Structure 1
Amino acid sequence: MRIMAFDYGTKRIGIAVTDPLQIIATALTTVHPEEIWSFIDNYLQGETVATFVVGKPLQMDGSDSESAQHVLGFVRKLKKTYPQIPVAEIDERFTSKMASAAIAQSGKKKSKRQEKGLVDTVSATIILQSYMQKKEL
């Protein structure tokens, strides 16, 4: 059973998944918000997902950020559409900065590093790794 993580944005949703043994988090893809539900439906036809993890956008003081309302709507619909799959929310502060830094360190050309979709999928992977580390504690 895999764990699937989302870095929700109003323009793109970065998606990452674990391997079936839930050991390794891997960037999967980026999907437009209008396509997310058909993407999840198609994915679930071939894979079993144990948990959905959604990055929760917070301000530095821990309060909800402006984009939190969009994420809240997404989480609500995830829970309603897939009631059998638990949804975990995890603090996503700094994931985009961490993703950009990781991409820069990977040696990718600057044009590739600035691709927003790549940042979103790497952010989703970082969110998933954070969740997996917290789960182990």
Structure 2
Amino acid sequence: MAKILGIDYGKIITGLSITDEKKIFAFGLNAIPTKNLMNFLEYFLVHEKIEEIVVGLPKKLNNQKEILIETEIQKFINKFHVKYPKIIIERLDERFTSKIAFSTMIELGLKRKKRRKKVILNQISATIILQSYLTKKKNSYS
């Protein structure tokens, strides 16, 4: 069965998450330098059957899009869609995911030094984005 890939796109580091085959749970996958994202995905998509990706949609509290990063995300989405036209691309509001991820790191007991690592933060954020999407999708079918 195909899986869903979650992406927390960042200027420097991009967090990735993936679902189980039943698309019930999201798991942290990796966090990689954004400049290597397309190369990573080319390799990854050869080994994993992905039918859909969920990319975080950065918004401000007033519901306005974060213009600077959104421009970069749109470039990525267009490039991805050209290369993989059969993979569905969804967007999900990612407000507060970084704050929730940081709180999760504290709850898990990660030391201050580890909490400073953007790699872990982005990976947890990607997992939150994907799990939120799965929950929203499940609730819309109920």
What TM-score does the superposition give when structure 1 sets the normalisation length? 0.96
**By how many angstroms is 1:68 displaced?**
1.4
Q: Show structure 1 runs of 4+ deviating over 3 A.
A: none
**By how many angstroms is 1:2 displaced?**
0.8
Residue 7 (structure 1) aligned with residue 8 (structure 2): yes
RMSD across aligned positions (CA): 0.9
Q: Which residue of 1 aligns with 2:19?
A: 18
The 3-state SS of whatever aligns with 1:26 is strand
Note the residue ranges of structure 2 that are not aligned, 5 or more in a row: none
Matches within 5 A, 1:21-100: 21-66=22-67, 67-100=69-102
Identity of aligned residues (%): 34
**By how many angstroms is 1:22 displaced?**
1.0
The 3-state SS of whatever aligns with 2:16 is strand
CA distance in 2, matches of 1:62, 1:11: 24
**By how many angstroms is 1:96 displaced?**
0.3
- Mapped contact 2:12–2:35 kept (Cα < 8 A): no
CA distance in 2, matches of 1:92, 1:104: 20
CA distance in 1, matches of 2:24, 2:61: 30
What TM-score does the superposition give when structure 2 sets the normalisation length? 0.93
Partner AA of 2:114 in structure 1: K
Q: Which residue of 2 aligns with 1:136?
A: 138
CA distance in 2, matches of 1:122, 1:72: 22
CA distance in 2, matches of 1:84, 1:68: 23
Number of aligned pairs? 137
The 3-state SS of whatever aligns with 1:59 is coil
Which deviations, in whole Å up to 9, do the C-alpha atoms of 1:80-123 show, x marking residues without a partner? 11101000000000000000000110011111111111000000
CA distance in 2, matches of 1:13, 1:31: 5
Note the residue ranges of structure 1 that are not aligned, 5 or more in a row: none
**By how many angstroms is 1:60 displaced?**
1.0
